[in-house]
Amino acid sequence: MSLDTAWDVTSRLPDAKRIEIDNLEYIGCLAALYYQTWKDQNPDRVYVTHKVVRDRPDDQANVPVPEYITALEWTVKNQVPSILLNSFKSRGILLRDEYQFILARIWEFFGTEGGIESGGAFILARIWEFFGTEGGIESGYVPKPEIELSDAIGPPYNPFKDLHIEHSGEDEVPGVVISGTPGIGKSLFLFFLLAQRLLAQQTTIYQFKSGEFVLFHATGVYHSELVKKEFLFLPQHTWFLVDSNEQNFIPPLSFVEACNSSSRKIVMAASPRETHFTFYSKHKTFVTVWMEPFSEAEIIAARKLQGRKTPIAERALEKFFRLYGPSARAAYENAKAPDDYKTDIVKNIDGVDWDGIVKIVTDMGRGYFETKFSHLVFIARRQGKDAREWYVEFASKYVANLVYTAFDVREAEKGRDLYRQFLKTPKARASAGGLLEACVLNIFPLGGQRQMRKMTRNPKRQLDQKNQHWLFDDESRDMYALLIGHQDHAVRIEDRWQNKPSPEFASVKHIVYHGDPPEEKERAFYIPADDNQVSFDGWLYEPATDHTVILQVTVKITSHDIKPEGLQSLGSNRVDLVVVSDDNGGKDVSMPLRSANLIDNVYRLEY
């Protein structure tokens, strides 16, 4: 007798009612998924491969889009599940590479220390990592590298198949919380986990609403409201999947207690609000992993899976993505009326005073996006390969500029105050960079002089054969002057600093362009509008001397993303680079040798 049939559901949960397939309630939709997975045992029935539908060539977005995608789909009496259509405005769930990554990480966490002794691709791979440490391996969460190696097309590798979990008594990670920017598919990831577990016939509890849950079991699928029940009778392989939403903040204490000192696990999807993490104070062994937002290609590829029968135009999605950032939900809901979305952002920005900004930045430093302002304006990104590390940045350059403009920081000192507020919080440092860029691109064209120091080309390349480095010497005292709008010149660099009277400076014409730089250049400050087009933020051109000065704004210590194609397109005899940064950033400029050969001098300007 299997672990799933060794106990009777109704004897343990007296109020449990078997759920019938029905599209009028979410539980009936889940019953349909159960029968098409647990009972049918055919992954191809629910993992459907689609050829990506594109617009006409002239109307396509300028981004590589995959030819095929795989989606998780099921039907309820030949209809789209109402839980997808009504709650998520979706007809199917794009199988993102990110889901595989997170599962792999969860598997690692559950299989390390206590976890690997217990018996889990990027998100899925990360979950597996957490559950598979030390004690976890002993209980059955052995390493599963296949999770991330799964083919992107067709049914994914299922690590739950033939998974046998035993109680080791040493599991150290009882659960994982999937967090990240709103509108990136965290709740839909739980459906992916659920489908994988049901295909493997693993006992699972899913909670979507507070005060109730759905139990998936060998004898059927059941609804119960006994959330305060002790769940120690459940098999050790049981997972609790909790969707933390506006009606369901935290997992029931009974779920948590069932996983403490056992091999049962909780995976919760939650937006980064403090109310969703209140149980953390008593259960610090839970791990938080951060899900990456959608890429532009994913948003376009998945548009056919949305609730609309007529897909949103690619160009509309492309424009929205580049103006307002990578929230898939926001893109699908607002791409047809982006001006209304902008109005909403500006309204929320206008409603935040200086003290409000300070609190918002402080909250984000703790991992919480508490206001609509923070949800609209910022995004959370994963820091490298460690799914537990994250940072905050503006949703886009355009949004950063909206914040800058709304706070009326035309004066340099005020702009410095605002961006330095973000610099105080390490997690928000990238946001400071976005705000600094907005300051520079608004203030520098007004003209003026600024002190800077020259960086030294490092002749040693033994450790880095592909890149040339320029290093900043903190002991250097030689000051150079960047002059903008001085004596009918757009830009000039002088090799010594002299304080010049303000009346000698005038504003410089600024030109925003798309695509390649204009062939006929004029005396101006140029700003590329396409984020993915070149790798610098702006440049000044003076035709009298055929001199171009590139401005790259960064708060990173090392900057190394100047592309040779972008430099060659400028077509000047003399090109200098000015790195604009705070007092800690921009001290090591590294770029490919092909780019380095096109640069005459590199300067660092503290702002």
SS (H, E, C) 273-301: CHHHHHHHHCCCCCEEEECCCCCHHHHHH
- The confidence band for 385, taking pLDDT boundaries of 50, 70 and 90, is confident
pLDDT of residue 171: 56
Q: What is the mean pLDDT of the chain?
A: 86
Q: Decide if pLDDT at 120 tops 50.
A: no
- The confidence band for 360, taking pLDDT boundaries of 50, 70 and 90, is confident
User: Which range is least confidently modeled, 32-46, 104-118, 177-191?
Assistant: 104-118
Q: What is the pLDDT of residues 269-293, one digit of tens each?
A: 998 888 777 776 666 678 889 999 9
Tell me the pairing of strands 538-542 and 547-553: antiparallel
Q: Decide if pLDDT at 181 tops 60.
A: yes
Q: Which residues of 143-158 are buried (b: 16+ CB within 10 A; e: fewer)?
A: bbeebbebeeeebbbb
Q: Are the C-beta atoms of 65 and 297 separated by less than 8 Å?
A: yes
pLDDT of residue 115: 40
Q: Decide if pLDDT at 169 tops 70.
A: no
- The confidence band for 118, taking pLDDT boundaries of 50, 70 and 90, is very low
User: Which range is least confidently modeled, 12-26, 48-62, 87-101, 140-154?
Assistant: 140-154
Q: Decide if pLDDT at 1 tops 50.
A: no
pLDDT of residue 87: 94
pLDDT of residue 88: 94
Q: How many CB atoms lie within 10 A of CB 548?
A: 24
- The confidence band for 536, taking pLDDT boundaries of 50, 70 and 90, is confident
Residue 474: burial class (beta carbons within 10 Å; 0-12, 13-18, 19+): exposed
pLDDT of residue 273: 84
Q: How many CB atoms lie within 10 A of CB 68?
A: 12
Mean pLDDT to the nearest integer, 560-574: 75
Q: Which residues of 78-110 are buried (b: 16+ CB within 10 A; e: fewer)?
A: eebbbbbbebbebbbbbbbbbbbbbbbbbbbbb
More confident residue, 76 or 261: 76
- The confidence band for 110, taking pLDDT boundaries of 50, 70 and 90, is confident
- The confidence band for 573, taking pLDDT boundaries of 50, 70 and 90, is confident
Q: What is the pLDDT of residues 195-246, one digit of tens each?
A: 999 999 999 999 999 999 999 999 999 999 999 989 999 999 999 999 988 7
pLDDT of residue 133: 62
User: Helices H, strands E: what count in the chain?
Assistant: 21, 28
Q: Decide if pLDDT at 152 tops 80.
A: no
Q: What is the pLDDT of residues 395-431, one digit of tens each?
A: 998 998 888 887 765 455 555 677 777 887 878 888 8
User: Which range is least confidently modeled, 189-198, 203-212, 460-469, 590-599?
Assistant: 460-469
Mean pLDDT to the nearest integer, 132-156: 70
Q: Decide if pLDDT at 376 tops 70.
A: yes
- The confidence band for 325, taking pLDDT boundaries of 50, 70 and 90, is very high
Tell me the pairing of strands 220-224 and 17-18: antiparallel
Mean pLDDT to the nearest integer, 461-481: 80
Q: Decide if pLDDT at 349 tops 60.
A: yes
User: Which range is least confidently modeled, 172-176, 201-205, 321-325, 462-466?
Assistant: 462-466
Percent of the chain surpassing pLDDT 90: 48
pLDDT of residue 517: 82
